[in-house]
Amino acid sequence: MKPRSNTGPRHAPGGSRGPDGGHGRSDDRGPARGPSRPRHDDRPPPRMRDREHGDQDFGPPPGRRRPLAHGPGEISLHGPPELATPLADTIAGARSLDGDVLTHGFHVWPARMHRAIAGDLIALLAPRVGSTVLDPFVGGGTVAIEARVRGHHVIGVDANPLSALVVRTKARLTSADDRDAFGVLVEALTERSFERVRERKGALAKIHGEHLGLYGTHTLKELAGLLEEIRSLDPQIDPADREAALVVFSSIVGKVSNRRADTSDEDVRKRIRKGLSTELFQRKGHELVERWAELSRTVRVRPGSLEVLTGDARALPRLLNGKAVDLIVTSPPYGGTYDYVDQHALRLDWLSLPRTHFERAEIGARRHGGEVERWDQELGDSLAAMRAVLRGPASRVALVIGDAQLGPRRLDAHEHVLALAPRVGLRPIAGASETRPDHLGGPQRREHVIVLGPR
């Protein structure tokens, strides 16, 4: 490991507790600072469902959000029952399991796959430890995390440049020393940020005008100063720690903005006091340390490698440069449902990450309207690229995909995939579908788990 230097004090002075249990202002010198955090390796491990090991006592800390909170829908099977029933069990089983264990929920990521579905598909379709698992729409890293803890080599691809930072951080396997060192770094950055707030030191927020209005003046200056401290870290700091600090920063910029949610354009007036952005950074930094500890305790086999690439899922043969994979588990965009570029625009702006290629490479974007032919071509090209990198006859593709909403037209994703698959050299093996409420208020949609193999 590279040496770490200039990380500042290990402990920051503690502040008084406010009514909500948070840290209030301890005196008139500025915002209070939270206490340094102890090593958390002695906490009980998280709860995780695994078909190979069964339900084990890995339960998450209370109070974390559960994805897929709506009630169960009707599940239908496709293909031989002996193959389709385990897929239906995977869908149904996820309802009772917390999706936010390990590092899964650390950084908000709209429409992420439930970790139990990803984990079950990997356990079902890649029983041999050391297989190579690919997610060409890796997003926030659900598949990457679940594959790593099972001892597989992982390749993730996403057009969103933020994805690579988030996945490398969330799927990182750390030692106790690594976690202690990052905790020290978090405290040092927290201390420097508080000093800037107390001294009213200026900093320039290098974000576009459309985003400047989402923040109060003091919040904008505080965030800009914190980011400046991260970017000016000593070059000898471990690059993975520098990247993790940026991911922690990215995790808070929406929380202290006046935007209601990442998937909403609605602005609300929030009362963000001075020092709160820094406190949130500190809390999230130590939360990451705790989650890393949970993740490392869960790994019971030799972990495989991790490679995360920024690129177009339709160009997998070029991106993988001749590498072949044993299993693909992925959740492609649901046609016409989201504009992911817009949802991540604020974070991309703060981190100075380019969005031009992302805009060109995003498939199924809502901004493309009801262009059925375009969606047909985009999804077909993606499937063709997946087929091209499969290792052999036993390799599989597992898709978690919802019905498309292309303008006024609802397109059944299961039927669509089955129509496209033979054209690109894939054959259907089995599937299961569940009805889901439509978040736009329309008729029920269906979400599908579809397993394909080479023809």
How does pLDDT run along the chain (455 residues), one tens digit per residue? Answer: 333 333 333 333 333 333 233 333 333 333 333 434 444 443 333 333 332 333 322 233 333 334 444 557 899 999 999 999 999 999 999 988 998 999 999 999 988 999 999 999 999 999 899 999 999 999 999 999 999 999 999 999 999 999 999 999 999 999 999 999 999 999 999 999 999 999 999 999 999 999 999 999 999 999 999 999 999 999 999 999 999 999 999 999 999 999 887 666 777 888 899 999 999 999 999 999 999 999 999 998 888 999 999 999 999 999 999 999 999 999 999 999 889 999 999 999 999 999 999 999 999 999 988 789 999 999 999 999 999 999 999 999 999 999 999 988 999 999 999 999 999 999 999 999 999 888 767 788 999 999 999 99
Q: Which domains does the chain have, with CATH numbers?
A: 75-172+301-454 (3.40.50.150), 176-298 (no CATH)
* Whole-angstrom distance, CA of residue 205 vs CA of residue 220: 7
What's the length of the chain?
455
At 48 the three-state DSSP class reads: strand
* Whole-angstrom distance, CA of residue 229 vs CA of residue 192: 7
* Whole-angstrom distance, CA of residue 218 vs CA of residue 174: 35
- Reference 439, options 191, 70, 30, 12; nearest CA is 70
Side-chain half-sphere of 190: how many Cα atoms within 13 Å?
A: 30
- Reference 452, options 399, 411, 373, 389; nearest CA is 399
Exposure b/e, 425-437, CB count within 10 A at least 16 = b: ebebbbbbbbbbe
Which pLDDT score is estimated for 1?
Answer: 35
Which pLDDT score is estimated for 327?
Answer: 98
171 — alpha (psi -120 to 50), left (phi > 0) or beta? alpha
Q: Give me the residue label for tokens 């972990």.
A: 303
Which pLDDT score is estimated for 441?
Answer: 74
Give every CB contact of residue 78 below 8 A, 6+ residues apart in sequence.
Answer: 84, 414, 428, 430, 431, 432, 433, 450
Give the residues across from 156 on adjacent strands.
135, 308
In the chain, the N- to C-terminal Cα span, in Å, equals 46
Which pLDDT score is estimated for 370?
Answer: 78
- Reference 337, options 413, 390, 252; nearest CA is 413
Residue 231 CB coordination number (10 Å): 13
Query: What is the DSSP code (8-state) at residue 140?
Result: T
Written as one letter, the residue type at 82 is E
At 230 the three-state DSSP class reads: helix
* Whole-angstrom distance, CA of residue 124 vs CA of residue 144: 16
User: Maximum Cα–Cα distance for the chain, whole Å?
Assistant: 71
Which pLDDT score is estimated for 437?
Answer: 86
* Whole-angstrom distance, CA of residue 367 vs CA of residue 428: 30
**What's the predicted TM-score (pTM) here?**
0.84
Where would I find the H helices in 95-214? Answer: 115-125, 142-149, 161-170, 176-199, 209-212
At 269 the three-state DSSP class reads: coil
Residue 411 CB coordination number (10 Å): 18
Which pLDDT score is estimated for 20?
Answer: 31
- Both tokens of residue 228? 């400046």
